[in-house]
Amino acid sequence: LAKTTQPISMDSYEGQEVNITCSHNNIATNDYITWYQQFPSQGPRFIIQGYKTKVTNEVASLFIPADRKSSTLSLPRVSLSDTAVYYCLVGDLSGSARQLTFGSGTQLTVLP
């Protein structure tokens, strides 16, 4: 089963780019990598998903190296409202070991 590791917390200032890395050394061949954002007392909200290389959408980019043992979520020009916990999720539901593993999360604090 894929185990994920993330930094516990990060601080940044408004307008800066933030990169949060997740390690998943024993990721399986069929596993996808997904990042979620969670505010207090709410369920997680999808940010971005990828399998390999780079994926970009309107809010973030996801970088996945060739060995797929880590992934980096990049948030361009953060604002105060981006203060939240960010989770990486590794998993796959198609195989016999159906499992989705969230990391323990990174508390991002954006300062003015």
Partner 1 sequence: DTGVSQNPRHKITKRGQNVTFRCDPISEHNRLYWYRQTLGQGPEFLTYFQNEAQLEKSRLLSDRFSAERPKGSFSTLEIQRTEQGDSAMYLCASSPGGMAYNEQFFGPGTRLTVL
In the complex, the smallest distance separating the C-beta of residue 71 from partner 1, rounded to whole angstroms, is 15
Candidate ranges 11-19, 65-73, 75-83, 97-105; the one touching partner 1 (CB under 8 A)? 97-105
Candidate ranges 11-19, 59-67, 73-81, 101-109; the one touching partner 1 (CB under 8 A)? 101-109
Q: Which of 5, 53, 79, 104 binds partner 1 (CB under 8 A)?
A: 104
Q: Count the residues of the shown chain that bind partner 1, applying the rule CB under 8 A.
A: 24
Question: CB-based burial of residue 59 (10 Å sphere; 0-12 exposed, 13-18 middle, 19+ buried)?
Answer: exposed
Q: Which of residues 41-60 bind partner 1 (CB under 8 A)?
A: 41-46, 49
Contact 106, 7 (CB under 8 A): yes
What residues have CB less than 8 Å from 13, skipping those under 6 apart?
A: 110, 111, 112
Q: Does the footprint of partner 1 cover residue 102 (CB under 8 A)? A: yes
Separation of CA 84 from chain center: 12
Of the candidates 60, 98, 103, the one whose C-alpha atom is nearest the C-alpha of residue 85 is 103
Give the footprint of partner 1 on this chain (CB under 8 A): 30, 32, 34, 41-46, 49, 87, 89, 91-94, 98-105
